[in-house]
Structure 1
Amino acid sequence: MKKLILLFLIIQSIGVNAQIKNGPMVGYSEMKEVMLWVQTEKPAKVKFVYWEQGTPEKKMTTDEIVTNKRNAFVAKIVCDQVTMGKKYAYEVFVDNKKIARNYPLSFQTQELWQYRKDPASFKFAFGSCNYINEAETDRPGRPYGGYNEIFKSIYDKKPDFMIWGGDNNYYREADWNTRTGMIHRNTHSRNVPELQPLLGNTHHYAIWDDHDYGSNDSDRSFWMKDTSLEIFKLFWANPNYIFKDQACTGTFQWGDVQFFMLDDRWFKAPNENFTGDRDYYGKKQLTWLIDALTGSSATFKVIVTGGQIVNPAKVFENMSNYEAERQELLKKITDAKIKGVLFFTGDRHHTVLQKLDRSGANYPLYDLTVSPLTSGPAKPVKEEDNSPIVEGTLFTERNFALCEVSGTLKDRVLKISIMDSKGVQKWTRDIKASELK
């Protein structure tokens, strides 16, 4: 009899856990609220219960919402009873039943440090190009994706947050022409067992590139761009979108570092169209960026975008292929005397740090390219032999960056460490804020 009861409880537990398809995932963190995300298997009522770590007797509950097919069974719910600078544990309830996970669930709020003390040290992960294999839609032959254990390696480093730098999933031919296909691809790419603990305990921010926007090298002419933006917003939990119904441009701050998430697809002219406005970011987005950089008091101002900016080689989809706008961007940064700017980019399926010395500027511009997470690696091409690569920083295997910001406010340092899929450090470099003035 006891065995039958135990079997029933196991079956019941499996049935309850099957209510969750993906997640939960921790989205943006601010001082007064945090967003949580989860995707259920079928229509369900969802809520989160959370409490400050160490005080489980003082539990708080979010609003309850109902997932449905139209919203891909996704729930995005704000935790708005939080306190600044605290760490929390949380649980997810589906149809009033707590869903157990075999790993802890936690999030944190940002600290109010301004005018009070030096900002705290923090660390974050960065990567791009995440291809999750699917036999029925992948090209024949050797699987292109692999090494999903990289997500456990990132989780084990305990970053405060992770930035996804584009090509966060890869739409296939069966996906990009329909909303159904886009929902399937995002759902499938997030349904990776090794990824779930990272989703549940690390805050996540994202920008897209061509493969999670549309087809390969897709641009402003992409016929499903409105739908693609809708699905991007559904599957990520960024804090803001500057242009609302256009582009996924946004910004967020962590400590004394501000991140500017730039969309290199929505306004971008086709690669082969050399007539009319040959936009990369477009005038509207570029104007916002310079205004936002000028008004920012952040120590480091990190521009996160899909394609390389500093690299002068006109290969693939580097911004150098749009030379007029690239020169305009670099000139405006110089003319406005904006301090602390550096670029974080992806796309290229290898990792490298490039350093551009600028005429008339007080400091060089760095471009950290980190790629791929799980996609197939690739090497630079011959045309890049003279690119301003920092010696010893080229890495051509699957990897991620672990970045740590530390030091007093007047002497902050950004330490970049490149880790392979097993979490082994391959190289490290320090960039001091004093070097970017």
Structure 2
Amino acid sequence: MRRISFFIALLLANSYFLFAQDLVQSGPMVGYSTMREALLWVQTTTSAQVHFEYFDQENPSERFKTESYTTQSKYGFVAKLVANQIMPGKKYGYELFINDESVQRDYPMEFQSQTLWQWRTDPPEVSFAVGSCNYVNEPELDRPGKPYGSEFEIFESIHKQSPDFMLWLGDNTYLREADWNSRTGIFHRYTHTRSLPELQPLLASTHHYAIWDDHDFGPNNADSSFWLKQTTSEIFKLFWGNPNYDVIEQGGITGTFEWADLQFFLLDNRYYRTSNNNFTGEREILGKAQIDWLINALASSNAPFKFITIGGQVLSTEADYENYATFPKERQYLLDKIREAKIEGVVFLDGDRHHTVLSRMQENEDVYPIYDLTCSSLTAGSNNNQELLNTNKVEGTVVGQHNFGILNISGPRTNRVLNIKILDKDGKELWSRDIKAQELKYKSRD
């Protein structure tokens, strides 16, 4: 009798364990990192109590615990919890618990705290991934014909590169016609994309930051008139782990973060945008308030590389329907302010175009060259547009297949070097370029 009771108890325990595993819809994912805290994210299939336990990998016997949170339907069953008992420069393992039962994965679940290097050493080497345009097929709601998304193994290739973090450059998901008119539809699309199996190992051990473009904001080519932009803004913030949003306090997702001696400026090119077809007044993509905040924030930054991220191309002179060349007055205002304020070290990062290209702009010998890396597409349909009308194009950098970027910054504090590598879906290098921080300085700041 005891033996039967034991096996029944064991069966029930195993069933409960499997049930806890089945309660995970997507994730876990690692969000932002600082020296003293990091964000941990997960989505459940239904309401459940969630918490994380974590530990310094050099001292695994001492465990720390996040607060517990019960996921709710109205928030997409998403839990965002902060690991706030960490110390600088450490690698941590973590464990997910649902209803107090551990959830196991066959891939690493870990995060890192940023290094306290100031006044002590040179800044650490930093490696991060970039990419945009991720379309995950759902035949019932996709357009008929050939699937638009493919080669999802690209996320496994990014994972193998072991970047410190990944910076998603917009169109991270694609809202469909059935999605963008309702909160239910928007939640469905974000959930469906985030649940992609090939994505899960990358989510679990690489920190993630993101901006958006039209397809994760609303309909194709969506602008400030989109009627559910407050809803997509709310859901974007639920599904991503940036350390701040809406720093100009006018709605949207504008923000910034630091990693080592680098600073990243996350811009919103949709929330304030004028319709592409509206020429009746002042036309804007970012809006004066956002640009003025950006210039002030750039002027306050000591970073040798100041990465400005935006959903669409900035420096390309080929006037595509959606890039900044089609808003020439505001584009010139932005670039003039960067020059007027003597901002150094500017590199733009963007996506949208479904191909990759590096652009370089230098108006005269008295100013340094500004670079713009367009990196696209991850899984959405790619094209082989050669940007024949882009006079700022760097020859040999156009890529018309699925690809991603790995950006590595190394060297001593006074001589940092940025290496840009573009890799195909299998992780094969397509091209590489070095940019020295010293090259992105004015000869004179007078």
Matched with 1:358 is 363
Q: Does 1:55 align with 2:55?
A: no
Q: Pick the aligned partner of 1:320 from 325, 335, 353.
A: 325
SS at match of 1:16: helix
- Is the Cα–Cα contact under 8 Å of residues 358 and 365 in structure 1 kept in the other structure? no
- Is the Cα–Cα contact under 8 Å of residues 105 and 201 in structure 1 kept in the other structure? yes
C-alpha distance after superposition, 1:236-292 (max 9, x if no partner): 010001134611010001111100011000111000111112111001101100000
SS at match of 2:414: helix
CA deviation after TM superposition for structure 1 residue 114, in Å:
1.3
- Is the Cα–Cα contact under 8 Å of residues 334 and 360 in structure 1 kept in the other structure? no
Q: AA paired with 2:215? A: H
Matched with 2:240 is 236
Matched with 2:262 is 257
Q: Pick the aligned partner of 1:417 from 407, 421, 424.
A: 421
Matched with 2:212 is 208
Equivalent residue runs for 1:14-413 within 5 Å: 14-241=18-245, 242-244=247-249, 246-359=251-364, 361-380=366-385, 384-413=388-417
CA deviation after TM superposition for structure 1 residue 15, in Å:
2.0
SS at match of 1:194: helix
Q: AA paired with 2:57? A: Q
Whole-Å separation in 1 of the counterparts to 2:422 and 2:12:
47
With the length of structure 2 as denominator, give the TM-score of the two structures: 0.95
Whole-Å separation in 1 of the counterparts to 2:56 and 2:169:
31
Whole-Å separation in 2 of the counterparts to 1:12 and 1:237:
30
CA deviation after TM superposition for structure 1 residue 6, in Å:
8.4
Q: 1:122 to 1:71 in 2, by over 3 A?
A: same
Whole-Å separation in 2 of the counterparts to 1:401 and 1:138:
28
- Is the Cα–Cα contact under 8 Å of residues 35 and 89 in structure 2 kept in the other structure? yes
C-alpha distance after superposition, 1:161-198 (max 9, x if no partner): 00000000000001101110000000000111111110
Whole-Å separation in 2 of the counterparts to 1:388 and 1:319:
14
SS at match of 2:293: helix
- Is the Cα–Cα contact under 8 Å of residues 248 and 289 in structure 2 kept in the other structure? no
Whole-Å separation in 2 of the counterparts to 1:386 and 1:185:
34
CA deviation after TM superposition for structure 1 residue 379, in Å:
2.4
Q: 1:150 to 1:6 in 2, by over 3 A?
A: farther
Q: AA paired with 1:363? A: Y
Q: AA paired with 1:346? A: G
- Across the aligned residues of Structure 1 and Structure 2, the Cα RMSD in angstroms comes to 1.7
Whole-Å separation in 2 of the counterparts to 1:393 and 1:159:
22
Whole-Å separation in 1 of the counterparts to 2:376 and 2:350:
8
Number of equivalenced pairs:
436
CA deviation after TM superposition for structure 1 residue 364, in Å:
1.0
CA deviation after TM superposition for structure 1 residue 59, in Å:
0.2
Any stretches of 5+ residues in structure 2 without a counterpart?
A: 442-446
CA deviation after TM superposition for structure 1 residue 120, in Å:
0.5
With the length of structure 1 as denominator, give the TM-score of the two structures: 0.97
Between stretches 388-397 and 73-82, larger displacement belongs to: 388-397
SS at match of 2:426: coil
SS at match of 1:289: helix
Matched with 2:444 is none
- Is the Cα–Cα contact under 8 Å of residues 30 and 109 in structure 1 kept in the other structure? yes
Between stretches 359-368 and 111-120, larger displacement belongs to: 359-368
Q: AA paired with 1:251? A: T
Whole-Å separation in 2 of the counterparts to 1:100 and 1:308:
41
- Is the Cα–Cα contact under 8 Å of residues 334 and 361 in structure 1 kept in the other structure? no
SS at match of 2:327: helix
Q: AA paired with 2:87? A: T
Whole-Å separation in 1 of the counterparts to 2:90 and 2:389:
48
CA deviation after TM superposition for structure 1 residue 372, in Å:
0.4
**Percent same amino acid among aligned pairs?**
51
SS at match of 1:188: helix
